[in-house]
Amino acid sequence: MKRITAFLSVCLLGITFLVPGISAQTVVQSFEINQISKKFVHIPVRTGAPRTWVTVNIDGVKQHEFEVELAPENPDFYASLEVGQWAGKKLVLTAEKVTSGSKWHDLIKLSNKLSDQSLVYKEEFRPQFHFAPRRGWTNDPNGLVYYKGTYHLFFQHNPWGTAWGNMTWGHATSKDLLHWNEGPDAVMPDKNGVVFSGSGVVDWDNTSGLQTKPLKDKSGKISNPPLVVFHTSIDADRGIGKACQSLNYSLDEGKNWINYPGNPVLPHMIGGNRDPKVFWYGDKSSDNPNSGHWVMALYLDGQDYALFSSANLINWEKVCDIKNVGCSECPDMFELPVDGNKQNLRWVFWGGDGKYLIGSFNGREFTKESGPFTTKYGGNDYAAQSYSDIPASDGRRIQFSWMAGGEYPKMPFNQQFTVPRNLTLRNTKEGIRLFMEPVKEIERLRISKASDYSASLEGVENPLKVPALKGQLLDIEMTINLMGQELSDTTNIVSAEIFGQKISYNTGKQKIDLGGIKASLVPIDHTVKLRIITDRTSIELFANNGIVQIAKCFVNKENVPANMTISGRKDYAMIKIKSYQLSSVWANQEK
């Protein structure tokens, strides 16, 4: 101890000391606050700086730790640690290995507001209506739940850097699925490990008993039910360890989240068992409208999943195996009417890679009728999840997906989500299939009257130039009428290009292609319909009312204008286009 204190040096609120056994070029450094009086501590980050582990201690008790690229100087951005819940207590942040002379502790900011507020959402490659975190990395959407007019969106989040790591749950809320208010991270790592993917529900009848002071309205229903989210805890110990399933809950409509002291509610079983999707199954055979139980769909290992049942969200029993789904991870399960007919219902079991099964479910056993089918054809689309507790008066099955693998050069955030999508089941010549289309709320972003354009193809060497396209944010409806031509010739290709991204349709092979991402697409009465939605770093394609969906990220580094062109064999097809310019959800962005 004497040897350590001999090297103490005070740096404002920071303390630097050398540690035996560590090179003189690296040191342990600490930052202290004797009495916490602000809500946030903003920590400087520089992408590419040496990584170090930082431990958070409150009144001498370790709360958690995270790995971060601490900025020795000139930070790229600030990451926010919420400390307001420990007001009046002593905070010590200890970085275990930083370069001697680092000034990160001098750069720390204390505030009651989230960091960099004046800079957020104004970055060059910031998506303008696709969700991306204000700072840090994101991947899977989690805990999608609707309650009292608010959509809650949780997401896998690394608050401390733009690469995967330090998995927590970020949290944002919206009234319209478009304009998001991102708050502090909601679910943090704890003694059971870091926080992987999961889902959320409203426990309307307080079956869990987590609401210890239930209030009832005039009809006798609980007016303050708990919101409950489930996630996989990974006992990482700075690596990847065994997984178990945990829950957190909120008693104030999602503002604050409490770690259930009895976690885990489902211990490790096999392989990577993870990503719990929980939903309520109403017993249709009972006269009691409240009769039913909770169901958890869980990924196990390989291509195998399982279903569990619970009366109270806490005690679970395994009831069913679902094998050979064709993919792994991130299950979802929901019931939909076929062609809108509520007397003709099917259940959909969904996996992380967009494969799905169609079948029936009696509350315990899922019986496969057909599949696996796919909604994913390569590109940037993974780990989709749908909302729970959407009101019956709305009736939609709304889904978000992670646009995996996108690039955002030199940005203080990384990755984004797709636009929200509405899922339906419809009869086709091949059988019942899942369709997905952008939610109707997207149309609220249209800031221009429709620009209409129609023309006949003028030949491969004479591409049509579509007029009146302005800006980077566009919603385009395009119809390709093949004019009754013979479709078997595989050399007949209708091509469109926008922002350097090529979309083509091969009439002979009956395949749609977006930038090398291909999918089978059969014309309907010699017609192909496309919905194309573009943002600063992405393009999403919905074909023939959503039987095919392709999501792709791209970087428009040269800020190339739309300049949409269409080409193909002369007089082979008639093109009709209706286009709209969209607004940014961030003030004063897109002009």
Q: Is residue 571 flagged as an active site residue? A: no
Burial class, 337, CB count within 10 angstroms (exposed 0-12 / middle 13-18 / buried 19+): middle
Burial class, 437, CB count within 10 angstroms (exposed 0-12 / middle 13-18 / buried 19+): middle
Among candidate residues 537, 583, 580, the one with its CA nearest the CA of residue 559 = 537
- SS3 category, 585: coil
Number of Cβ within 10 Å of residue 367's Cβ equals: 12
Task: Give the list of residues 6+ apart from residue 287 with CB closer than 8 angstroms, or none.
Answer: none
Q: Which of the residues 76, 116, 140, 353 is marked catalytic?
A: 140
Number of Cβ within 10 Å of residue 398's Cβ equals: 19
**DSSP-derived secondary structure letter, 85:** G
Q: Which strands sit side by side in the sheet containing 168-174, from one edge to the other?
A: 180-182, 168-174, 150-158, 136-147, 413-414
Q: What is the DSSP string of 141-168?
A: EEEEEEETTEEEEEEEEETT-SSS-S-E
Task: Give the list of residues 6+ apart from residue 475 with CB closer than 8 angstroms, or none.
Answer: 442, 443, 445, 446, 531, 532, 533, 579, 580, 582
Number of Cβ within 10 Å of residue 570's Cβ equals: 13
Among candidate residues 144, 201, 203, the one with its CA nearest the CA of residue 171 = 144
Token pair for 458: 């003028």
Residues catalogued as catalytic: 140
